[in-house]
Structures are given as C-alpha cells and as structure tokens.
C-alpha cells in the first residue's frame, strides 16, 4: 500500500481475485485442507487458468501472506507519516492503524497468523522479516517515548509485544454490526495502551 493512500480507508478490496479466492478457502478449510480446485472455483477460474498465474498452492500462500503484511506495513507507515513528531502522537497513530487493520481485515489477519506454520522454511523467512519490521516500529516508538520521559515501562520490548497482542486480539471479537463504533473502540484501546505503558 502506498503511504500516500489514506491508511484509514478500507473501502476498496486489497487483493487480486486469485488471492482473494484463496483467502476465503484458507480461512474456511485451512491451507492443508484447501485444494487448487476449490481456490480456482472461488476465483472464478478453471484449474488450468489458475496454474497460468501460479505454479503451486504454496506460491499462492506466499503471495497472500506477503500481500497481507505489505498492506499492514503500508498502513502503518502512512499512519506514522500523518502523525506529529511526538512519541505519543506517533504511537497513537500506529496503534490505531493496527486496530483498524485487525477490525477491517479480520480474515486476512487470521490466515496470516494461523498459516505461518504452512510456509516452507525458505518462504517463511521473508514473511517473518516483514512481521519483525512491523514489531520494531512499536518497539522503537516505545523506546523513544521512554527516553523522552513520556512512558514509564521497565521493558519497552515486552511492552511492545503486549501492545501488539492487544491489537491483534480485537480481530477475535469485533463485529461490524456490534454495539460499539470503530472510533469508540480505538479510543478505549488507546486508554488501555497508555495505561500499559505508564503514560505520564
């Protein structure tokens, strides 16, 4: 995702049709339970037509996983670019971006998290590198805030993991027809994150 695109905008589909079809099948059947025929049918392609785009189910999974992380990282970068210079403002923007992603991209977040185990070792490293880059954004902001006296946490790295877990967890219960609006959830979670980090 281009950082010039509004990182709060989830109106447009993020995936091409083969990956979108695979996402639905992987979410329902799991990677190992999904067949190429099922993915092709979901993408409205013949099996030979799908093989024109991809040589294997593993290739589809790799592209899907990297696309999901690319979308998340692009939105995170956009959030940081739109924030002010202060550590708190930047952290709030990044946390909001993570929360919105896990609310509006629940299926993608679920598959990306659950199917790391299905990536072959040579493919897993590329995905993990992107995931680690995302995590370092949080760690660096919390460390900067600790240095500036904005946060008071004894372990910025562990605090960053806790914040990540909090944001990822919203995908397990959020419903678009639920009782809380997205902005309300974001506001509530920012209060929790501030408390977790000992915001001064």
Looking at residue 5, what is its pLDDT? 61
Domain 58-196: give its CATH superfamily: Tetracycline Repressor, domain 2 (1.10.357.10)
**Average pLDDT in the 15-28 region?**
95
Quote the CA–CA distance of 102 and 92 in Å, as a whole number: 15
Distances (CA, A) of 66 to 1, 27, 84, 113: 12, 16, 29, 12
pLDDT tier, 80 (very low <50, low <70, confident <90, very high otherwise): very high
Nearest CA-CA partner of 21 in 37, 3, 7 = 37
For position 3, what pLDDT does the model report? 45
Phi, psi of 5 (to 5 degrees): -75, 145
Q: Which residue has the tokens 């990306």?
A: 112
> 157-160 — which CB contacts under 8 Å span 24+ positions?
159/196, 159/197, 160/135
HEC string of 120-147?
CHHHHHHHHHHHHHHHHHHHHHHHHHHH
Give 47's pLDDT tier (boundaries 50, 70, 90).
very high
Q: What is the pLDDT of residues 124-175, one digit of tens each?
A: 999 999 999 999 999 999 999 999 999 998 899 999 999 999 999 999 999 9
Q: For the chain, first and last CA: distance in Å?
A: 34
Q: What is the DSSP string of 16-65?
A: -HHHHHHHHHHHHH-TTT--HHHHHHHTT--HHHHHHH-SSHHHHHHHHH
Q: What pLDDT, in 10s, does the model give residues 91-125?
A: 999 999 999 999 999 999 999 999 999 999 999 99
pTM, 2 dp: 0.92
What is the arithmetic mean of pLDDT over 77-90?
94
pLDDT band for position 7 (cuts 50, 70, 90): very high
Could you give the C-alpha distances from 42 to 51, 106, 119, 176, in angstroms and in order? 14, 19, 22, 24
pLDDT value for 1: 47
Matching residue, tokens 């692009």: 74
């Amino acid at each position: 995702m281009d950082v010039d695109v509004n990182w709060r905008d989830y109106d447009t589909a993020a995936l091409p049709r083969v990956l979108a079809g695979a996402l639905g099948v992987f979410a329902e059947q799991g990677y190992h339970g999904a067949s190429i025929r099922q993915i092709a049918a979901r993408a409205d392609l013949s099996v030979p037509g799908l093989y024109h785009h991809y040589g294997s189910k593993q290739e589809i999974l790799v592209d899907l996983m990297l696309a999901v992380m690319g979308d998340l990282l692009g939105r995170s970068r956009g959030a940081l670019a739109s924030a002010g210079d202060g550590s708190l403002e930047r952290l709030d923007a990044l946390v909001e971006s993570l929360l919105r992603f896990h609310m509006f991209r629940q299926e993608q977040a679920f598959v990306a998290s659950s199917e790391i185990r299905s990536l072959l070792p040579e493919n897993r490293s590329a995905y993990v590198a992107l995931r680690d880059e995302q995590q370092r954004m949080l760690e660096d902001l919390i460390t900067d805030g600790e240095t500036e006296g904005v946060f008071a946490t004894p372990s910025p790295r562990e605090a960053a993991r806790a914040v990540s877990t909090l944001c990822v967890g919203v995908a397990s219960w959020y419903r678009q027809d639920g009782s809380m609006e997205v902005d309300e959830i974001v506001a509530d979670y920012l209060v929790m994150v501030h408390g977790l980090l000992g915001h001064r």
